[in-house]
Amino acid sequence: MTLVTAGVVVLDCAEPEKLADFYKELLDAEETDANANRVEIRGTDGIRMAFRRDMSATPPSWPRPESSLQVHLDFHVDDLDAAELRIIGLGGRPIETKDPSGPFEERGYSDPAGHSFTLRHAATTAPKQD
């Protein structure tokens, strides 16, 4: 018998309805539960997120060290450029879009409430076909 199972990632914010809308659109998710202080969504891949009202929530200050990473999310994408356009169209903003060297390409963003997240694209390791 499993003692603990995975729950849900919860982000504190002043306006949970607006932040839930951002992630619903980004993840093609649906709302599964809502009340006056919390909205929960489930993405098509099963990811569960909730957004809890906290009127004194302060956005993370990334990349400044104070309060820099209260939470950090990674999302995998097939097309970084297309995903970036969608994020900006939904009200998110780029915070670090340099492509680092290594096996992964990644870019940093913040959602409309200031929470940081990263889009990651795994480079193919398959040999080229002639």
Residue 111: inside a domain: yes
The pLDDT score that the predictor gives to residue 89 is 95
pLDDT score, position 106: 81
Q: Which residue has the higher pLDDT, 79 or 89?
A: 89
Asked if 76 and 83 touch (Cβ cutoff 8 Å), the reply is no
Q: Is residue 60 part of a domain?
A: yes
| Residue 117, pLDDT score | 86
Phi/psi of residue 121, nearest 5 degrees: -125, 120
Q: Is residue 38 part of a domain?
A: yes
Residue 27 structural domain: 9-122
Residue 50, pLDDT > 90, answer: yes
The domain that contains 54 carries what CATH number?
A: 3.10.180.10
> Quick check: 84 pLDDT over 60?
yes
For residue 70, being part of any structural domain is answered with: yes
- pLDDT confidence of residue 6: 66
pLDDT on residue 57:
83
Strand partners, 50: 10, 40
Give the mean pLDDT of the chain: 81
What's the domain count of the chain?
1
Residue 3: inside a domain: no
In a domain, 127, yes or no: no
Is residue 65 in some structural domain? yes
> Strand (E) positions, the chain?
9-13, 30-35, 38-42, 48-53, 73-76, 93-96, 104-110, 116-122
Q: What is the mean pLDDT of residues 99-109?
A: 69
- Alpha carbon of 2 to those of 5, 6, 49, 123: distances in Å? 7, 10, 22, 35
